[in-house]
Amino acid sequence: MIDSFDHASSGLQIEHVTEAAFRKFARQHGSSPEIGPIGTYLDADHGDRVYGEPHLFAMFGCGDICAVACCNLVVHRLGEGHVCKLDSIIVHQSIRRGGLGATLVNKAFQEMMDDKRFDITSFFSYAVHPATVRLLRPFGFSEPPPTGAPLLSLKISDANREQLATELKVRFQDAEQKLKLQCIYCRKHDKRARPWCVHRKH
């Protein structure tokens, strides 16, 4: 796990990060005009901290953290595999609405599924932010119910596990290639460049 990259590490990197790095980024950028503060597992009143195992991911661009995500891993109540909760996704306030959050979540889900120790049986999240529904819809998550807790979920079984793993891999590779191409254009000061990271935007 890391806290940061040197700026010499140009381009896109997605890595596991320390709790300290996650906490610092969340404090700086964990708010939204629509809902105010964005809750994370670090909040004092967050129950998942008692029994969940947090896995912290970050997207770096030229050494700077651009987005973070937390997946909380919980043993299935029947003892069969694990349930993975997307606890939070936070993108730097100056570069939102560019698809970075979806790309980071895609990579996080892919890694969680690829790790055979976990045997993920479902993903879920609470749609406290309208963007969460839009972000998770392409992954096949259920729509939030009209009343009650705004729970989104995606069940995983032997019937759809391989297909979902392939879709996550292909979707991430496509997004990764597009971001890395922009990195190449940006470093060359090409007029086609559309800088996406914090370092290049400032």
Whether 154 and 142 have beta carbons less than 8 Å apart is answered as: yes
Q: What is the pLDDT of residue 122?
A: 93
Cα distance between residue 172 and residue 133, in whole Å: 19
Q: How many DSSP H helices and E strands does the chain contain?
A: 6, 8
Which range, 95-99, 114-118, 164-168, has the best average confidence (pLDDT)?
164-168
Cα distance between residue 48 and residue 50, in whole Å: 5
Q: How far is CA 66 from CA 87, 133, 158, 187, in A?
A: 18, 21, 35, 18
Mean pLDDT of the residues in the chain? 86
Cα distance between residue 129 and residue 131, in whole Å: 5
Q: For 124-165, write each residue's pLDDT tens digit.
A: 998 777 788 889 999 999 988 877 777 899 999 999 999 999
Q: Is residue 3 part of a domain?
A: no
52: domain range? 12-201
Whether 179 and 103 have beta carbons less than 8 Å apart is answered as: yes
Q: Is residue 2 part of a domain?
A: no
Q: Which of 38-52, 66-80, 186-200 has the lowest mean pLDDT?
A: 38-52
Q: Is residue 79 part of a domain?
A: yes
Average pLDDT rounded to a whole number, residues 46-67: 81
Q: Is residue 158 part of a domain?
A: yes
Q: What is the pLDDT of residue 41?
A: 79
Q: What is the pLDDT of residue 7?
A: 45
In total, how many domains does the chain have? 1
Residue 99's CATH number: 3.40.630.30
Whether 121 and 146 have beta carbons less than 8 Å apart is answered as: no
Q: Is residue 7 part of a domain?
A: no
Q: What is the pTM of this model?
A: 0.88
Q: Is residue 160 part of a domain?
A: yes
Q: For 97-112, write each residue's pLDDT tens digit.
A: 899 999 999 999 999 9
Q: Is residue 119 part of a domain?
A: yes
Q: Is residue 16 part of a domain?
A: yes
